[in-house]
Structure 1
Amino acid sequence: MPPDPTPPLGIIMLDTRFERPPGDVGHAASWPFPVLFETVRGATARRVVGGQDADLAEAFVEAGERLRARGAIGIITSCGFLAARQRSLAARMSLPLATSSLMQLPLIDRCLPRAKRTGIVTYDAEALTDAHFVEVGADPATPVVGLPANGALRGVIEREAPYDAEALARDVLEAAGRLVGRGDVGAILMECTNLPPFSRAVAERFAVPVFDIITLGRWFHSGLLQTRYP
């Protein structure tokens, strides 16, 4: 008898149009199990990052229901800034919802040696507020370094610049280096769901564990689908 097909994880995507290489949340090859995508029209990156997305709540819920109808067993999203909507959106979904890689932060902090803490690499440090941390039960005093406003990732997402993996890697490694250079950072957490393609480079350069939306999604899916033991 063939094994049962693995049920998919649903991913709610923002309304964006740019290249998504393997490792990005929006590339199916990033995942070791099937995934399904649904887009929320009008949910631009700048609108969600800036917290101007409250009127899109119903559209996010509807996207979650479409994913459920298509067979998803749980839902994540394609923007870490949706951490601010975790409880309000989860309360309205029919499936379990994990909005943001930031949800891993309290657990990572508790796994680190004494005097070490997690540092965040984010798309926009000014937009990442205390409210985002409080909503996921994390410390608002967590060290944060943002990618440059004139950098490669903002160019790709907000200015339709070509995808430049080398430039992106430089920006991410520079941000991670600033965090590790503090001396008290023992792990890196990528807020942005477009950064996992660079997680391995950060881990190898700085010899620290690195967490992101892919590590969250893998953990989340593993609990939604229990292993069948002989």
Structure 2
Amino acid sequence: MSDLPAAPARVARGGKAIYGAPLGILMLEARFPRIPGDMGNAATWPFPVLYHVVRGATPALVVLERARGLLPAFLEAAADLVALGAEAITTNCGFLALFQAQLAAHVRVPVATSALLQVPWVQAALPPGQRVGVVTISAATLSPAHLAAAGVPPDTPVAGPDPAGEFVRVLIGAEKDDLDVDRAEDEVLAAGRALVAQRPDVGAIVLECTNMAPYAAAMQAALGRPVYDIYSLVTWFHAGLRPRAWG
């Protein structure tokens, strides 16, 4: 018989329904195209994610009406994602910053509701005399309450695309399922150009709208300034859930 000690048993720990996807994403109920780079396109992410569509949470209700009456549905959906295996929660609309505190208190795991959460971090990195500007899908309804919930100063410069244009009409107006991607990109870039023309002190841009992430690279090239979006937020967020093992 060998005097070598027995190899330790390999024990797998349970307690969840799904494994290997620690990040859960709360999705609005919409049918517009989710192009590469969009949060709702699973191929956007370099890691697996869990999705949960919140029924009744239309873009118009969330963006134009402050997600009126939807908090219970979002709390329930977030709890469902945690029960499935999510170790942290994010959402696919920056206007859901209004629910940041309530969601975090309810599910008791890290929550990052909005790309706007990056504004204080980016501001801290800028040289003196420069500030962060925000490009949003709806400058008219991005209120001081939304900004305050994400820790964004109330005097932050904000701009948005043409409310009657392709981007807003498809994503909020829900007038059609098809999106003219080139027109949408032009409109998002026009909002960024208008922002820096009005406020030359804007040294970096944060894109509030998660559907603007596909155009972030084009905006950075056009404006010559750093551009941050939901992709930069979520990849940072996930890095803490699964830090790289260096061996």
Q: What's the TM-score, normalizing by structure 2? A: 0.87
Does the alignment pair 1:76 with 2:76? no
Q: Which of the numbers 189, 193, 201 marks the counterpart of 1:173?
A: 189
Cα drift, residue 36 of structure 1:
1.3
User: Bigger shift: 118-127 or 48-57?
Assistant: 48-57
Inter-CA distance 161–19: structure 2 relative to 1 (3 Å threshold): closer
Gaps of 5+ in 1: none
C-alpha distance in structure 1 between counterparts of 2:223 and 2:21, whole Å: 36
* 2:69 match: secondary structure: helix
Does the alignment pair 1:201 with 2:218? yes
Does the alignment pair 1:164 with 2:176? no
1:17 aligned partner: 31
Equivalences for residues 86-101 of structure 1 within 5 A: 86-101=100-115
C-alpha distance in structure 2 between counterparts of 1:94 and 1:116, whole Å: 36
C-alpha distance in structure 2 between counterparts of 1:6 and 1:32, whole Å: 13
* 1:55 match: secondary structure: coil
User: Bigger shift: 131-140 or 195-204?
Assistant: 131-140
Cα drift, residue 55 of structure 1:
2.2
Does the alignment pair 1:185 with 2:202? yes
Q: Which of the numbers 105, 126, 130 marks the counterpart of 2:140?
A: 126
C-alpha distance in structure 2 between counterparts of 1:52 and 1:111, whole Å: 31
* Aligned residue-pair number: 227
C-alpha distance in structure 2 between counterparts of 1:14 and 1:217, whole Å: 17
1:150 aligned partner: 164
C-alpha distance in structure 2 between counterparts of 1:64 and 1:84, whole Å: 15
Does the alignment pair 1:33 with 2:47? yes
CA contact (8 A) 1:8 1:33 kept: no
Gaps of 5+ in 2: 1-18
Cα drift, residue 53 of structure 1:
2.4
The one-letter amino acid paired with 1:214 is Y
User: Bigger shift: 160-169 or 215-224?
Assistant: 160-169
Cα drift, residue 6 of structure 1:
4.4
The one-letter amino acid paired with 2:28 is L
Cα drift, residue 87 of structure 1:
0.8
Deviations along 1:55-82, whole A, 9 cap, x unmatched?
2212112211221222222111010001
Cα drift, residue 54 of structure 1:
4.2
C-alpha distance in structure 2 between counterparts of 1:54 and 1:156, whole Å: 21
C-alpha distance in structure 2 between counterparts of 1:138 and 1:223, whole Å: 23
Cα drift, residue 96 of structure 1:
1.4
